[in-house]
Amino acid sequence: MTSSDRVSERFRELLDTRPEILREAAEDFGHLVCAPPLGVLRPRSAAGVGEALAYAGPRGIPVAARAGGHSMYGQGQARGGIVLDLRELGTVGPVTGDRVEVQAGALWRDVLAATLPYGLAPPVLTDYLGAGVGGVLSVGGLGGASHRHGLVADSVLELEVVTGAGEHLVCSPERHGALFHAVLAGLGQVAVIVRATLRLVPAPALVRRYCLYYPVLDAYLADQRLLATDRRFAHLEGQARPTEDTADDWTYMVEAVAAHEGATPPDDRTLLGGLSFVASEVEDLGYAEFANRVATDEEVLRATGEWLHPHPWLNLLLAEDTAASVVTDVLAAPGFRDLRDNGLVLLYPLLTRTLRAPLFRRPRGEVVHLLALLRTAAPGTADPMVAANRTAYEHARAKGAVAYPANALPMSPGDWREHYGSRWSALAEAKRRHDPQDVLGRGHGMGW
């Protein structure tokens, strides 16, 4: 037996191949794609990640990294390959000044729990804090503070990664800059994130949350644009909600949040000045309670079992000049009628100048709008919803939209080339250099 054979045998012994573990790794939050791996590895260091990639690369074995398992359509799975369960790489800290070191397997709720005692928080948090750090940075990450601070990934100062070729590197904008920019919002195509250094900002003690209601889409979008560009609120999101008295109509709700410390509460008249809403609700919350607001919904859905149902979600970034028509068309489409009963529709503005990661694609214009169609399907009923996602994507794309690639959306290699446009060559070059055997990111179906 050669030394190489002995290394291979030793590595195979580390793989967890128990049926129940393979079943878990074959699924993700979407519960739409079942892709059983060869085995699951739980690395505790960058060296462990490197050993997996050194084993997989020469053999062409696919590798996928996961922590929260929050992908929608098999993007974090590795059919017939190796799943790197990064939850052992879950350390957060130390917090030093205005930054924190975070391992990729930590969840964002862990990050916030570690930074809040210092009065600090990441500039942008996604709504759901149960996702893994590495996964969110790989897709980019959007949240209510994105109109001010851009992507979650835009707060990264430094990365420690292991490339698909097994090279262990520390990178930043100044050091291995091309690799750094290929990893952030790069969909895991070139390297596995092991650790990230994140910039932090002061966290408020309290927030005041305003819910502002609009019966007309055009007025809603106009006020959302105003609020995004004048930046009067720290957090800005919104929803389309079905009306109770009419089968086809929708109303719209701006969710705007202002930070405060209690002694000097926000001036409601100033913050709401110049807006055209017809009704409003106001509440004060602790910042931690607000940031973790989805946790209660998760508990309920886990208790009912719906958390384990299929989630054929679709996220689109709409060009401003066609946003109203796309929203109107999609919400009226027969394939999305179930949104009235079992879904959530997010609709809120982003400023393109704040979205800095080069590989993050966005439509033309100063302002774009995230349209997130978040549905839950009964087991065995999701295929028509995925097909409706595809139809909606093609319709929106023809009007200048792009996908935010955290979707239950089948994409062909041609779709991906169109998605990246002029940036495709940069991603392809990074892929050739850092993952020449194409072992990473196969769940996205880019067809390298």
Q: What is the pLDDT of residues 210-241, one digit of tens each?
A: 999 999 999 999 999 999 999 999 999 999 99
What is the per-residue pLDDT for 6?
Answer: 53
What is the per-residue pLDDT for 2?
Answer: 53
What is the per-residue pLDDT for 247?
Answer: 61
Q: What is the pLDDT of residues 17-36, one digit of tens each?
A: 999 999 999 999 999 999 99
Taking the mean position of all CA atoms in its chain, how far away is CA 107?
12
Write down the pTM of the prediction: 0.96
Residue 399 neighbours by CB distance under 10 Å: 15
**Residue 170: is it exposed, middle or buried by C-beta count within 10 angstroms (0-12/13-18/19+)?**
middle
Taking the mean position of all CA atoms in its chain, how far away is CA 291?
16
Which helix (H) or strand (E) segment holds residue 335: the answer is none
Beta strands of 23-134 (E only): which ranges? 39-41, 63-66, 82-85, 92-96, 99-103, 120-121
Two structure tokens written together for 359: 């590989």
The answer, yes or no, to whether residue 445 has pLDDT greater than 50, is yes
Q: What is the pLDDT of residues 71-95, one digit of tens each?
A: 999 999 999 999 999 999 999 999 9
